[in-house]
A and B are shown apart, each in its own frame.
Chain A
Amino acid sequence: MHRMSRRFKMTFSAWIAAERRGDVDQAERSLRRLFSVLPTPAPGSDLVMATLEQLGVRVGRGVRTVPGRLFKLLVSACLAIAGAALLLAPSVVGPPLRAINPAWVVELWTSALIAVSQRLAGGMAVWRVMSDVGDMVAAALASPATMAALAIVLVMSLVTFRALMELVAFERRTGNV
């Protein structure tokens, strides 16, 4: 510190002497050296964050807390259980899948179009199709296992939806959204 003060003093003397002589180049060199050892005034440590906040920039945030992770885990688990419930209820999925025949679908659609375009009475064919579909669904729903599986899926969907709403609200409160 003492050496730095002495060096500062010497440079300062050189500057004053150069000013006296009218030696502009030497004066500027000495003054530049003086400024290089002057401590640069620094703003408070919170200036960066305060400025970024004013700009609406969030930096350094987004740290996931435990509740956030837990919510996401719950959501993932609910979705997995919902998927498993569907897989474990083949009686719901099976009949509709077996009944669907691509050729039959195309024929139905063509017939319906022709019938509608020719006369309004063609709506009877559509009615027959809807009736067949309804019969198939009713037969599937008649099974207790199917009802139970559907109920489980419904409950899981509600739980998942609720968890998602909580997660969004939590993220909003912590300022991540």
Chain B
Amino acid sequence: MTTRDKQRVRAALAGSESACAEIVRRYQRPVFSIVVRMVRDRGIAEDLTQETFIKAFRALHTFDQEKKLSSWLFSIAHNTTIDHLRRKTLPTVPLETADGELDPLSSVPAAAAETPERVAMGRDLRRVFEEELQCLRPEYAEILVLRFQENLAYEEIAEITGLPMGTVKTHLFRARRALAERLARRGMAPGD
């Protein structure tokens, strides 16, 4: 944990209100960005983010200050969101074909010449990328965000999600492929 985070935690445990506020301000955005990509609803994501911090502060005395505060908060956010998802059934979109195999990316056509439509598509690409990210299975979206947005190591992701390391790597591989496949289907892959 960074020195500053350690100081904040100690101050918060001592009852410093400003330290509590600093912790929330510092981590609200990363926590929210993970949760919103799992639940796909801003309102629910804000409620779950708030619930995460409330749980964290109530259990702050149990936090091991040798560990990273961010990982601990992400872990609470993960558990809180998973509990919410278990209570609620989200509409899911099948990622696999009927025979259970992902369509090979080699089915995507080769690169074509630049057109005005493709230039406009570049501006839309980020929007579509974000949309498709949120359409993935919640655990896939979460693992992509933890790995590529928060730049966490496999071990940290395993600790946060409670999954074995091998499962984390498998999920990561499948999540990457699923996202690429979804984008290819939307015609966003090179050559579309």
Report A's interface with B, CB cutoff 8 A.
1-2, 5-6, 8-9, 12-13, 15-17, 19-20, 24, 27-28, 31-32, 34-44, 47-48, 50-52, 54-55, 57-60
Contacts and interface: CB of A to CB of B under 8 A. Distances in A.
Interface string B107-124: 010000000000000110
Interface residues of B, number: 45
A19 B177 contact: yes
Contact of B21 (A27, A43, A52, A54): A52
B33 A40 contact: yes
A27 B179 CA distance: 12
A1 B17 contact: no
Interface in B90-140: 105-106, 108, 122-123, 125-126, 129-130
Interface of B: 17-18, 20-21, 24-25, 28-30, 32-33, 36-37, 42, 45-46, 49-50, 53-54, 57, 105-106, 108, 122-123, 125-126, 129-130, 144-145, 147-149, 151, 173, 176-177, 180, 183-184, 188-190
Given A41-B45, A47-B50, A51-B54, 20 more contacts: A5-B122, A5-B126, A9-B122, A16-B180, A28-B148, A32-B148, A38-B126, A41-B29, A42-B29, A43-B28, A47-B32, A47-B49, A48-B21, A51-B28, A51-B53, A57-B17, A57-B20, A59-B17, A59-B20, A60-B21
A32 B49 CA distance: 24
Contacts of B57: 55
The A interface is mostly helix, strand or loop, or mixed, namely: helix
A55 B122 contact: no
